[in-house]
Amino acid sequence: MSEPRIWVDADACPGPIAEILYRAAQRRKVHLHLVANKLLRPPESPYIHTQRVQKGFDVVDDIIAESAGPGDLVVTADIPLAARVVDKGAWGLNPRGELYDRANIQARLSLRNMLYELRESGVRTGGPAPLHARDRNAFAAQLDRFLNGKMGEET
- Specify the CATH number for the domain of residue 37: 3.40.50
Planar angle of CA 69, 75, 78, nearest 5 degrees:
100
In a domain, 155, yes or no: no
In a domain, 153, yes or no: no
How is residue 12 annotated by DSSP?
A: G
Residue 127 pLDDT > 80? no
Beta bridge partners of 51: 35
pLDDT tier for residue 155 given thresholds of 50, 70 and 90: very low
* Backbone φ, ψ for residue 106 (5° rounding): -65, -40
pLDDT at residue 62, as a whole number = 96
Q: What is the pLDDT of residues 5-63, one digit of tens each?
A: 999 999 989 999 999 999 999 999 999 999 999 999 999 999 999 999 999 888 999 99
Q: How far apart are CA 14 and CA 12, in angstroms?
A: 6
Tell me the average pLDDT of the chain: 89
In a domain, 1, yes or no: no
Q: How far apart are CA 40 and CA 122, in angstroms?
A: 35
Residue 32, SS3? Answer: strand
In a domain, 152, yes or no: no
Lowest mean pLDDT among 11-15, 41-45, 73-77, 115-119: 115-119
Calculated CA dihedral for residues 21, 26, 30, 31, nearest 10 degrees = 80
In a domain, 117, yes or no: yes
Question: What domain range includes position 84?
Answer: 6-147
Q: How far apart are CA 113 and CA 4, in angstroms?
A: 30
Largest CA distance in the chain: 48
Task: Give the chain's domain count.
Answer: 1
